[in-house]
Structures are given as structure tokens and as C-alpha cells.
A and B are shown apart, each in its own frame.
Chain A
Amino acid sequence: MTPDPTGRAPSYTDFHPRWYRVRVSTYWWLTKWSYMKFVLRELSSIFVAWFVVLTLLQIRCLSQGPEAYARWQEWMRNPFLIAGNVVTLFFVLWHTVTWFNLAPRAMAVRVAGKRVPALLIAAGNYLAWAVVSVILAWIILGG
């Protein structure tokens, strides 16, 4: 503090004022189901990335020949991997559902000046998803 020649207490201090801030726990998201749903949705991205890793390994083995691909298939039969992939499927589906349910809020579709109801947009997404999935399965399984 700088000495004051008049001897009076100065009206300022050298210290930075402290804001009043409530410390948020690292586990804030455990306190409420809606927070939990949000965090589960955010965590789904890890499983999306894991799927890409699996697919890249699969493409690599596919190009290396039948033996390499058989090794990949054998690896995928590992019970721990199966269990992990069940969890992965759960999170990926969670991503799909939350994404489609948010879609009506992101897209304000208007037909003849009227806003298309949210339920209809979500339903359209689910329908398109089903169609795409069936077509992809049909192609993968050899047409």
C-alpha cells in the first residue's frame, strides 16, 4: 500500500476485489436426471469415435486379405469387446434419438406459411433413419 501523506486511510486497496462465485462441483451433473441426460449425450461422442476406430481397422484388414480379415472378425468376437460394443450401441442410439428430438428445434420448416409441428419433423427423421438403415443393411448383406 502506498503511504498516504495526509495520514488518512486510503479509499482503495492494492488487492483485486473478489467476485462472489459459487464453486460448482465437478459432479454437478449427477444431481439431476436432466443434467445426467445431457452429459450422457455429450459422452456419446466418445463412442462415435470408437466406432470410427473399429471401422478404420476393419478397412485396413479388409484390404490386407482374407487371413487379416478373419483375424479382425475373431478379434471382434472377444467377449469384452462384445460387451463394450453393446455399450457403444446404446450410446450411439442415444445420440441418434437426442439428435432427432432436437432437430425440430433447429429446423423451423414452414409449409404454406405454417410451421410444421415438431412431432412431424421428428417422425420424418425417424422414418428416414429406418429407410436408410434397411437400404444399408440390404447393400452390406449382398443386395
Chain B
Amino acid sequence: MARRLVEPFLWSLFSVGGVVAAFLIPVHLFLFALAFPLGWIASPSQEALLALARHPLVRIYLFVLCSLPLFHWAHRFRYTLYDGLQIKHLNEVITAFCYGGAVLGTMVAGYLLWNLR
């Protein structure tokens, strides 16, 4: 019964996280992981980025950017392990690892963004 109540909720987190990931991650990844390190575009200074990140709306944005894609990962990765590797017998371990990881990441994101000075 509990499973039937929780599953739609987890699926909607997966779905919303998928939308966030699809729209927002490519540009972030391209800039911070390729364009800036490879010197294609000059990176903004630490001061400028910190000032930007400290804005309340940007904090909320970054929190959403980190948290929801993690729940997207948790759901999808769980089923990847079920289908891809056929290890359904490890059900509880996989579920705890996936959603536990997403909850942990969300808490870390909340902590870091709350304490951003």
C-alpha cells in the first residue's frame, strides 16, 4: 500500500528532475566544465560568481538545479540496475542507495547554499 502511494510521488520527482536536467544542465556543464577550463571563454572571477550565487533567487535556483536532477538520477538509475543488470533481488539495497543518495545530496546543497557568505 505504502509503495503505491509513494511511487507516483517518486515518479513525479523523476519527471520534474528530468525537465530541469534537460533544460539547465547542458549550458552549465559546457561553460564550467569545458569552455572555462579550456580557455575558450574567460571565466568570471570568484568574486563575481560568489556575488551572483549569494542572491536569494540564485540560491533557490542552484538548490533546485542540484536537488531535482538527483531525484531524477535516483529513479532512473534504480530501474537501470533492475533492467540492465537484472539484480532485482537487491531491491532494498538499491532503493536505499539511490533515494538515500538523492536526499543526502539535497541536504548538502541546502547546507552549502544556506551558509554561502
Q: Which residues of A contact B (CB under 8 A)?
A: 24, 26, 29, 39, 42-46, 48-49, 51-56, 58-60, 62-63, 65-66, 69-70, 73, 76-77, 81-82, 85-86, 88-89, 92-93, 95-96, 99-100, 128-129, 132-133, 136-137, 139-142
Contact = CB atoms under 8 A, between A and B. Distances in A.
Interface stretch (B2-10, B22-30, B88-96): B22-30
Interface string B76-117: 110110011110000000000000010001001100110111
Contacts of B116: 59, 62-63
B70 A62 contact: no
A45 B24 CA distance: 14
B49 interface: yes
29 contacts: A26-B84, A42-B76, A44-B76, A45-B73, A45-B77, A46-B73, A48-B21, A49-B105, A52-B73, A56-B109, A59-B53, A62-B46, A62-B49, A62-B53, A63-B112, A63-B115, A66-B47, A69-B49, A73-B36, A88-B29, A89-B34, A92-B25, A95-B22, A99-B19, A100-B22, A132-B27, A133-B23, A140-B28, A140-B31
A55 B80 contact: no
Contacts of B31: 137, 140-141
Question: Which secondary structure characterizes the binding site on chain A?
Answer: helix
List 4 A-B pairs, minimum CB-CB distance, nearest first.
A45-B76, A85-B33, A69-B46, A133-B27
Contact of B112 (A29, A56, A69): A56
Contact of A93 (B26, B37, B49): B26
Nearest to B32: A58
B43 interface: yes
A65 B22 CA distance: 31
A132 B113 contact: no
Nearest to B50: A62
A59 B73 contact: no
B80 A63 contact: no
B33 A48 contact: no
Interface in B35-88: 36-38, 41, 43-50, 52-53, 62, 65-66, 69-70, 72-73, 76-77, 79-80, 83-86
Contact of B37 (A53, A73, A89): A73
Nearest to A100: B22
Nearest to B43: A73
Contacts of A43: 80
Given A59-B116, A141-B41, A142-B44, A95 B18 contact: yes
